[in-house]
Amino acid sequence: MKEMYPKNGKVILHVDMNSFFASVEMAYDPTLKGKPLAIAGNPHERRGIIVTCSYEARKFGVKTTMPLWEAKKLCPQLIVKKPNFERYRAASFGMFQILRQFSDLVEPVSIDEGYVDITDSYELGSPITIAQLIQKRLLNQLDLPCSIGIAPNKFLAKTASDMKKPMGITILRKREIRNIIWPRQVGEMHGIGEKTALKLKKINIYTIGDLAKANEIQLRKLLGINGIKLKERANGIDTRPVDPEAVAEFKSVGNSTTLPKDTVNQHELFTVLEKLADKVSIRMKQKKVLAVNISITIRYKDRKTISRSKKLLNPVVQKDEITAIAKQLLIKHWNGDPIRLLGITGFDLIDQSHAVQQLDLFSFEQEAKKEPLIKTVMKLREKYGESIIENAVEKTNKASPTKLVGAETSFNKDFLHDLKKNESS
């Protein structure tokens, strides 16, 4: 089989579970199979929102983030269930255990998707044979469907897995990019949101092919270094390795400042926190991430230093949100002594494109008890634009809402950290 593998290149799989939450519920209760099923918060309330739904429900026009009342209007026979996060976590652990039977190089991306480097797994069969074995094993052992992309790098594997759903297996080679990928609208490319697509159209980049041939100076001026990376992706270039340790990555964005003089003036300290929060917010927006954990650092006149943090139900990125949390932490933990340095750090970062997923797993469980998820979704839309929901949840639809639970690259940090602990224990 070795001759079926490239001599110098890689063979990467992207395994993406189909309508994960709904599929897990169907596996748990086979009587739900073949029926229009939706997972939603507050299913008994008019204002509940669809978190994900089965393909049978989608045939009626039911979509993720749709208000429950609207979904029921489109599909009166819609079956609605509340999310069961422990059930989804258990299914996800089982999924990744199966993937590791085919390679040690498995990188979880979220609760329901991951990359597998099978370059050295040729003894198990050809790439297509391994993909078929994975698909069958997930279906036979967990009763869960998936789509798999096979390609020489992560970007193309991800693109390929999106091409056939549900239960698809797609091979995407670099030589096929020109005919298959380039004719598509630039907004359809993985990694490009609605706002970026609009910016690109202003410089006459309408298709992925246009981006692949775009002027690099113009791209850098418009999008910075990210513009160059996007052009590389459009040309099928992606050198990122499949990294099992990416789950354990600890990311943070922070700023601190030494005060002009030691002070106990709360108004002055609050002003400093506001400026720091603004800097942290700007940097997170530049990196296109949100924080699920905010920490403040306090250094006193005697140089004693403490750090205190707060884990959040919903990820934040806006200055006002970060400021409010930082002030709360200062009020709670400041002992009243003169302060010489203050700092704010955002931890447990998630990609903006996965924010709704993070929300789902992270906070939906508790938040749904207090108010409909739709309120939170609308806030995200107002702050970050429609695409943060449309793109992430649509992906959730196809894949999961773990994106309603999480992982990382977006790495819904909680889930991935639990996964890492489980592996090492």
Mean pLDDT of the chain: 84
The yes-or-no answer on residue 394 being catalytic is no
Band of residue 65 on the pLDDT scale cut at 50, 70, 90: confident
Contact call for residues 83 and 404 (beta carbons, < 8 A) = yes
Q: Give the C-alpha separation, 224 to 214, whole Å.
A: 14
Distance CA(24)–CA(28), nearest Å, equals: 6
Query: Is the pTM of the predicted complex or chain greater than 0.85?
Result: no
* HEC per residue, the chain: CHHHCCCCCCCEEEEEECCHHHHHHHHHCHHHCCCCEEEECCCCCCCCEEEEECHHHHCCCCCCCCEHHHHHHHCCCCEEECCCHHHHHHHHHHHHHHHCCCCCCEEEEECCEEEEECCCCHHHCCHHHHHHHHHHHHHHHHCCCEEEEEECCHHHHHHHHCCCCCCCEEECCHHHHHHHCCCCEHHHCCCCCHHHHHHHHHCCCCEHHHHHCCCHHHHHHHHCHHHHHHHHHHCCCCCCCCCHHHHHCCCEEEEEEEEEEEECCHHHHHHHHHHHHHHHHHHHHHHCEEEEEEEEEEEECCCCEEEEEEEEEEEECCHHHHHHHHHHHHHHHCCCCCEEEEEEEEEEEEEHHHHHHHHHHHHHHHHHHHCCHHHHHHHHHHHHCCHHHHHHHHHHHHCCCCCCCCCCCCCCHHHHHHHHHHHHC
What was the pLDDT predicted at 83?
A: 87
The pLDDT confidence band at residue 100, using thresholds 50, 70 and 90, is very high
Among residues 413, 56, 69, 6, the alpha carbon closest in space to that of 249 is found at: 413
- Give the type of residue at 212: A
* Model confidence pLDDT, tens digit, residues 281-297: 998 888 888 888 999 99
Q: Which residues are annotated as a binding site for Mg(2+)?
A: 16, 112
pLDDT of 4 higher than 80: yes
pLDDT digits (tens, 9 = 90+) for 221-233: 999 999 999 999 9
User: Are 293 and 309 within 8 A, CB to CB?
Assistant: yes
Q: Is the pLDDT of residue 416 over 80?
A: no
Q: How confident is the model over 274-284, as a mean pLDDT? A: 93
Q: Which of 137, 154, 166 is nearest to 54 (CA)?
A: 166
Q: How far apart are CA 1 and CA 411, in angstroms?
A: 34
Would you say 149 and 170 are in contact if contact means Cβ atoms under 8 Å apart? yes
pLDDT digits (tens, 9 = 90+) for 243-273: 987 765 546 889 999 898 999 999 999 999 9
Residue 361 has pLDDT above 60, yes or no: no
In CATH, the architecture of 182-234 is: Orthogonal Bundle (1.10)
Query: Which of 113, 321, 365, 408 is labelled catalytic?
Result: 113
Which residues, in sequence order, are CB contacts of 260 under 8 Å at separation 6+?
none
Domain boundaries, the chain: 182-234
Which has the closest alpha carbon to 20: 166, 171, 128?
166
